[in-house]
Amino acid sequence: MRSSFGKRAAEMGLDTSLAYKGLYRYVDAYGEVIYRTLAPLTVENDPNGRHETDGEFINLLGVFTKDVQDEQQLEHKYAGYVSDAYKFIGNDVLNQRIRTAIQSVGMPILEENVILWDSLCRMRNEIIIRNGQQIDQVGDVLPVMIVNNSYNGTRAATLAFGIAIANASAARKSIFGFTLGEMRQVHIASSTTQLSSAVSSYMQVFTENINEMITQSFNSTLTETEMLSVLDLIEGIGKNRRNKISEILNNLNPIQTPGSPPPLPSAWQVFLAIARYSSLEPNLNSKRLLENAAESVLVIPPRMFDVLERLQKE
């Protein structure tokens, strides 16, 4: 039989000092979250008498968040609700678990980019690893572990594998996460040894296959139908996004014959245009949809595909 949220709160890392009134708290450098048991209001000396549902537990907890770095935010903000079955994991607890796995296989972390969204309920942390490769026509390409978490049940905690592209012509690194290979919370919560093994597997396949993936994508020209299909997919996310990505793509594919339509781009040019734009996208839902579109045009070597598919199933 499943234990209630309150009975599991301490083992999930929540402060239970105010559990007697149905309040559970967690705070780290990224923010504070409070879960409160919800129940219909009970009024003392109610002239209409007590109703049978007054004060009854309704199997839901309200979510309240606070930005601990914002001195102007003095009160917690309501940010939704979760069911009593919700499995909580703190942002920094999850991030530290991934850091430990990376460091246990001898990989140095270069930097972390943390994005908080949806009233601080959603987090994405892009952990860039120093051991990359310098590839002609592209620049430095580095492996990335992308950690996602949510406090309101809108997204499961996940670990995705990806790449960061550092190029002098871009203002910041373009960061992309594969949908293929994404590990969900049930796998992330497994033993440190298993998580370290997953990180090691990706690092090996990155080292052995990233050059081939980029080269093959460079040499693959999209058909007009494929190109329109990708742009239509992006337009479904937002017309302005399609226009911005088309503008980036035109800058990446400047060679044109006067009076002739522009040449069809390579799969890599389309991927890079989407990745550059999505790296600046603050909406985490839209960012993930853009990454899906970018992934759809990549030519992923069979060995790399197989490893990512296995990681997703483990």
Last residue of a domain, one of 61, 83, 105: 83
pLDDT score at 53? 81
With beta carbons less than 8 A apart as the criterion, state whether 161 and 202 touch: yes
With beta carbons less than 8 A apart as the criterion, state whether 255 and 269 touch: no
How does strand 139-150 pair with strand 122-129? Answer: antiparallel
Q: Give the predicted TM-score (pTM) of the model.
A: 0.91
Asked, for residue 130, whether it belongs to a domain, the answer is yes
SS (H, E, C) the chain: CCCCHHHHCCCCCCECCCHHHCEEEEEECCEEEEEEECCCCCCCCCCCCCCCCCCCCCCEEEEEEECCCCCCCCCCEEEEEEECCCCCCCHHHHHHHHHHHHHHCCCCEEEEEEEEECCCCEEEEEEEECCCEEECCCEEEEEEEEEEEECCCCCCCEEEEEEEEECCCCCCCEEEECCCCCEEHHHHCCCHHHHHHHHHHHHHHHHHHHHHHHHHHHCCECCHHHHHHHHHHHHHHCHHHHHHHHHHHHHHCCCCCCCCCCCCCEHHHHHHHHHHHHCCCCCHHHHHHHHHHHHHHCCCCHHHHHHHHHHHHC
Last residue of a domain, one of 211, 241, 257: 211
Q: For the beta carbon of residue 77, count every other beta carbon within 10 angstroms.
A: 13
Last residue of a domain, one of 83, 110, 143: 83
Asked, for residue 9, whether it belongs to a domain, the answer is yes
Asked, for residue 268, whether it belongs to a domain, the answer is yes
Residue 132 shares a structural domain with residue 189: yes
pLDDT score at 169? 64
Asked, for residue 216, whether it belongs to a domain, the answer is no
Residue 72 shares a structural domain with residue 16: yes
Q: For the beta carbon of residue 145, count every other beta carbon within 10 angstroms.
A: 26
Q: For the beta carbon of residue 35, count every other beta carbon within 10 angstroms.
A: 27
With beta carbons less than 8 A apart as the criterion, state whether 134 and 154 touch: no
Asked, for residue 247, whether it belongs to a domain, the answer is yes
Average pLDDT, 10 consecutive residues per value, the chain (314 residues) = 88 97 96 94 85 82 94 89 95 96 95 95 97 90 97 94 84 92 83 90 97 96 93 92 93 67 88 95 95 97 96 85
Residue 102 shares a structural domain with residue 198: yes
pLDDT score at 57? 74
Asked, for residue 313, whether it belongs to a domain, the answer is no
Tally of domains in the chain = 3
Asked, for residue 140, whether it belongs to a domain, the answer is yes
Identify the domain containing residue 196 by its residue range: 91-211
Question: What is the C-alpha separation between 127 and 305, in angstroms, rounded?
Answer: 21
Asked, for residue 309, whether it belongs to a domain, the answer is no
Residue 123 shares a structural domain with residue 204: yes
Query: Around 228, how many Cα atoms within 13 Å sit in the side-chain half-sphere?
Result: 3
